Structure 1
């Protein structure tokens, strides 16, 4: 950048803004006081050779960081999926979009309640909101620390963060009171969230780094499904496309580039490793594939490690294999006259041993109980009932959906055939169904890297019409009908044979 002269002695900030306008064509730059305070020293010690980090800010742009020399390869961002059960963070190189690392952990708020309703109730008690806000900020900071320590990256080099979560998680992240979310008429404090700096909520990255929380649609349809619609390109397609995000809250969207309709149903934490005796996240040692044949159990684990429990995909496989092999009935109850030595009743609870303790990584047997199966039946029933209710509301059949994306914390594996076999997914041509992993995280990353994508997320949130299932009577009828394997109406699952 040209140094000042007596003929060109404009202020340092004007000089930088002028140069940026030449190089980017963008007008209107803001700057923080902390950044402005170090401007004089940075410019003169570097001989006016600097690297400027800029970000979208309101209707203009903001200077986030000014550094000596060429540091273009040292700018990073963080994408965060703030899930009800699991929080996942991804470190991204801003110039290239390269993923530098990803890590996750159980959401520590679970100790205050496994589902969003429990946490809302806790938040509405004295100091409850402050506690829930504090623990999620602490958890994100710990994940960020883990990511940057591996790569020897400075906190100051992280200049932006985009977070996606359901409406309650977004409120708790920002410290917004969520009490009205659970009370009819189900109104959140906000569905579009202000852009803030990291220092405002205590995120330990560059203090002036921009933080965006993706917009919500309604009280129970949040930025995570908006991120998913963005990541899957549903709003760009002329074909009718569906997205099921199977998490603690089963969120569903159906639509195309002309219309989008969505809903949410409480599925519970079972598919994310919660609510079952031996459930766990999709991490090293989690059983993610199971096959039972002639009384023999074969399984695979993530990382080929000793089995430590069952993640969501393993639980789906397990239920399918149990009913297929007549170990449980279509109502989810164990056959009591089963002669299989793996079946037992312990403390009046029927259970089936999948891995004996001598082969387990925890030195404890890995089992599935009748209570676990009951929880899973309710979870899969809620997801399918929501999908069916939404399709019926729109007036379409599953056959009219050209593509169905399935998202969720299943790791890298989901057996579509078995998910259909237990009645979790609709019985439709298998080539139309695609497992796409964590689309909430993917959408947050896309929004982190692209101003256009971030703007598109806001457009998507405004375009989506929410159907409130809690006051939609057909949903409850569909839910009761779905509490069977695969369903009480076998005509909905013509290809499923046990």
Structure 2
């Protein structure tokens, strides 16, 4: 039925969700309105081909695309982002196009022994004093002989019991207005909440009685793809619960540069902030309800994210980040009231963020360096966090340099024919035998739906090991296997037959996929190589390598070396350290001193801008080979591939 002002009803299956939307809006727009997440890695530009849906009934205006085959078109497939609503519709979202929030991986990666130990080895160095703490006070009642004012009496109690100098104490008008009645009703036995705000300590709240144990906070990893929140008990430095969701900004672009462009072109800066804050509020609300707490119990939130996500969180303009000379509006934002940006916790609760280093190295990396205490070690070490961008830090306690390589979203599944993010059903490991038999392992041990970053890397390594492709990445045309075939779009290799997949479609890797992956791995390697050479060092000078993030969780180190993404180093030097972004945020919330150390770390790191670095571009061109044009840089791979 046509609705007022040319609005139509779109009914989505299998979720049985219906929305009303204006004529001419896309099916993708309608899915967002219904809070349905469809894979649209390109942000709706029509370039990734991931948002395929099946049109059961209704009238649409669908733009032509090469991503829909003739066979798929006969089955009713269309691209959601290229299909305009021109009447009431019934749309089926197939399994391969769904983004299921329940599939997000949020563990601390306990399967790697020592991963958390490595990332928390320096905790004993910090005094057990959280950024926001509660202290119980039994104040002396006033008398004719003791006529100190109520607020000064409170401050005196804080000074004695919390060892906080009088001159740094501050408070808010709400506390001052309520204080006289509260103190007397509580018989001068109260709990004061103290929040650290740089050089001052704010008395955020005063409550009757002893509620000092009811002190909770939230640590958030504000990622480009996912947002992960940990509920923390600040009284005993324990993690209570964890929750995660996809970053809802995905609808505006898979990477943050696309999102900046979208925000500028559509005057949508406020929208970018709103959807991000909504995600954080949803996580906080879920954690609070599940653990039978109150929003009022949450006194602080610490967020760690890249520079652009930090800008969006505060509503800062990030447009200069993508323009020469690539400057953020602010690298460090002092603590503010969380309510000022719309985060719903205690009305006087504080929002802290970890400091950024440069345009493309953000607070998530400062947090990561804090987590592994790279600032305290003698050994020259590498911290590598691989995602849409590859952030790299090289150094030790005496010096640190860092950079960011634009690897592109290939390792998160974008731009790859059967790529997907790391979720249940994603192929995470691949083995190819000499007879070209393929063995795949999926996340969750379920039938495969696609292949994620670690699986793609593994696949590329095994393709070159088995001789399916040569060192240029090109398929060897003489391969004798039915898995190798030519299509209208070029050559491809079948990893999993459609009869064995969850989507009932072949999972393949194409020639275009391989070249895309080689470019991505080349960006990572050349960034690492540029940093090492810029410091006058060689690969053998690196004593320890830390791999952070979800991608590192499933990475096969030997495969990463075989394809030339990582330098040719001993596998024994590599250690997985999990989500160091959220670990550093937790450390900062648990320990005020750790938060201050993070600021020192950020100020200590020297940022290398690779965009204008000629050495980087030269190295990048040489690295577009498996593993490298100079095989002597990879002696173990030369031996593995039997290259003279």
TM range (shorter): over 0.9
The counterpart of 2:460, out of the listed 302, 307, 319, is 319
Secondary structure class of the residue paired with 2:537: coil
Q: Does the 8 Å CA contact 2:197/2:334 hold for their aligned counterparts?
A: no
Match of 1:208 in 2: 348
CA separation in 1, counterparts of 2:413 and 2:286?
Answer: 23
Cα shift at 1:106? 3.0
Q: Does the 8 Å CA contact 1:343/1:350 hold for their aligned counterparts?
A: yes
Match of 1:20 in 2: 158
CA separation in 1, counterparts of 2:373 and 2:279?
Answer: 30
Matched, 1:352 2:455: no
Match of 2:383 in 1: 243
Q: Does the 8 Å CA contact 1:30/1:63 hold for their aligned counterparts?
A: yes
The counterpart of 1:104, out of the listed 244, 268, 283, is 244
Q: Does the 8 Å CA contact 1:414/1:435 hold for their aligned counterparts?
A: no
CA separation in 2, counterparts of 1:143 and 1:172?
Answer: 18
Secondary structure class of the residue paired with 2:142: coil
The number of residues matched between the two structures is: 498
CA separation in 1, counterparts of 2:205 and 2:417?
Answer: 48
The counterpart of 1:389, out of the listed 503, 519, 530, is 530
Cα shift at 1:426? 0.8
Match of 1:147 in 2: 287
Moved more, 79-88 or 332-341: 332-341
Q: Classify 1:67/1:393 alpha carbon distance in 2 versus 1 (closer, same or farther; 3 Å).
A: same
Q: Does the 8 Å CA contact 1:123/1:179 hold for their aligned counterparts?
A: no
Secondary structure class of the residue paired with 1:144: helix
Match of 2:18 in 1: none
Secondary structure class of the residue paired with 2:589: helix
The counterpart of 1:475, out of the listed 616, 630, 635, is 616
Partner deviation per Cα, 1:417-459 (whole Å, 9 max, x = no partner): 1111111111112221112122222212211211111111111
CA separation in 1, counterparts of 2:502 and 2:212?
Answer: 45
4+ residue runs over 6 A deviation: none
Instruction: Give the TM-score taking structure 1 as reference length.
Output: 0.93
Matched, 1:160 2:296: no
Match of 2:268 in 1: 128
Match of 2:220 in 1: 80
The counterpart of 2:235, out of the listed 95, 98, 103, is 95
Match of 1:401 in 2: 542
Cα shift at 1:334? 2.9
Match of 1:428 in 2: 569
CA separation in 1, counterparts of 2:365 and 2:620?
Answer: 21
CA separation in 2, counterparts of 1:270 and 1:19?
Answer: 57
Q: Does the 8 Å CA contact 2:484/2:491 hold for their aligned counterparts?
A: yes
Q: Does the 8 Å CA contact 2:139/2:154 hold for their aligned counterparts?
A: no
Q: Classify 1:417/1:10 alpha carbon distance in 2 versus 1 (closer, same or farther; 3 Å).
A: same
Q: Does the 8 Å CA contact 1:85/1:269 hold for their aligned counterparts?
A: no
Q: Does the 8 Å CA contact 1:4/1:10 hold for their aligned counterparts?
A: no
Match of 2:254 in 1: 114
Secondary structure class of the residue paired with 2:405: strand
Matched, 1:263 2:400: no
Q: Classify 1:282/1:95 alpha carbon distance in 2 versus 1 (closer, same or farther; 3 Å).
A: farther
Matched, 1:174 2:314: yes
Match of 1:440 in 2: 581
Unaligned runs of 5+ residues in structure 1 are none
Secondary structure class of the residue paired with 1:194: coil
Q: Does the 8 Å CA contact 2:490/2:510 hold for their aligned counterparts?
A: yes
Cα shift at 1:39? 4.0
Cα shift at 1:394? 1.0
CA separation in 1, counterparts of 2:595 and 2:416?
Answer: 37
Q: Does the 8 Å CA contact 1:355/1:367 hold for their aligned counterparts?
A: yes
The counterpart of 1:495, out of the listed 608, 623, 636, is 636
Q: Classify 1:146/1:269 alpha carbon distance in 2 versus 1 (closer, same or farther; 3 Å).
A: farther
Secondary structure class of the residue paired with 2:148: coil
Secondary structure class of the residue paired with 2:525: helix
CA separation in 1, counterparts of 2:504 and 2:413?
Answer: 19
Unaligned runs of 5+ residues in structure 2 are 1-137
Cα shift at 1:327? 2.3
Cα shift at 1:96? 2.2
Secondary structure class of the residue paired with 1:495: helix
Cα shift at 1:226? 1.2
Moved more, 214-223 or 27-36: 27-36
Match of 1:191 in 2: 331
Q: Classify 1:279/1:90 alpha carbon distance in 2 versus 1 (closer, same or farther; 3 Å).
A: farther
Match of 2:557 in 1: 416
Partner deviation per Cα, 1:187-233 (whole Å, 9 max, x = no partner): 22111212111111011222321111211111122112111111111
CA separation in 2, counterparts of 1:401 and 1:410?
Answer: 21
Q: Classify 1:155/1:405 alpha carbon distance in 2 versus 1 (closer, same or farther; 3 Å).
A: same
Matched, 1:4 2:141: yes
Cα shift at 1:87? 2.3
Q: Classify 1:356/1:340 alpha carbon distance in 2 versus 1 (closer, same or farther; 3 Å).
A: same
Moved more, 272-281 or 134-143: 272-281
CA separation in 2, counterparts of 1:376 and 1:71?
Answer: 55
Cα shift at 1:234? 1.1
Instruction: Give the TM-score taking structure 2 as reference length.
Output: 0.73
Q: Does the 8 Å CA contact 2:216/2:234 hold for their aligned counterparts?
A: yes
The counterpart of 1:219, out of the listed 334, 359, 372, is 359
CA separation in 2, counterparts of 1:127 and 1:108?
Answer: 17
Partner deviation per Cα, 1:121-154 (whole Å, 9 max, x = no partner): 2333352211222221122222223333332222
